[in-house]
Amino acid sequence: MQGRTALMGALALVAALAQAAPLRAQDQTRRIRLSRDTVVAGVRCASTGRAYAELYSNGGLVECPLAADSVIEGHALPKGTWIRLHQDRGLDGAWLPRDTELQGLPCKGTGYKGWAVRFHPRGALALCYLSREASIDGVACMSGSFARELGGSTQVALHPSGRLKGCRLAAAVTRDGVALKRGARIQLTETGAVAR
């Protein structure tokens, strides 16, 4: 039965590729619509609806929505997460279908093309927008909202080590002799010092 399921998935992918848009010269990728769950380059992708999954010219996956809860590079991603991969199959980014905790942070999720999540090349979280205020390395960081974005980005950026690189302050802070007001953006070095 499992062999038959794999064969059906392969046939569905071949059929989808036959219906795919032509290769785009600028980025060497191909866009396809998936009408049902399909395994693409080892990832179980869900139906894309009116959107498109995307493939590299070598058949590797660029992006698609996940058909089931999945763990990718140590991150537990819920079903419906739209993932984006590097050509080496490493996780590049995602759009979460709902608020999800990643690396201990409450990351905001509203679906495809909503609040973005990005990852460093080795899989560590690089940035997300918080679904609620959170303290990171002793700094109170603001949650993301459309209204707050109008006054400047609320994205939380992390160094590859997981330490805070920058955020918009949810409370005033004095660090390294630098006083910053609530709402200001703080930038920190890898060692946690205020970047000047």
Q: Say which residue the tokens 């739209």 belong to.
A: 82
Q: In this structure, are residues 165 and 193 in contact, taking their beta carbons and an 8 Å threshold?
A: no
Question: Residue 53's closest CA among 67, 25, 73, 32?
Answer: 32
Predicted local confidence at residue 23, as pLDDT: 39
DSSP of 156-171, one letter per residue? EEE-TTS-EEEEEBSS
d(CA 96, CA 125): 13
* 137 φψ region: left (φ > 0), alpha (ψ -120 to 50), beta (else): left
Q: What is the mean pLDDT of the chain?
A: 87
Q: What is the pTM of this model?
A: 0.81
pLDDT per residue as tens digits for the range 8-60: 333 233 333 333 334 344 458 999 999 999 999 999 999 999 999 999 999 89
Q: What is the DSSP letter of 52?
A: -
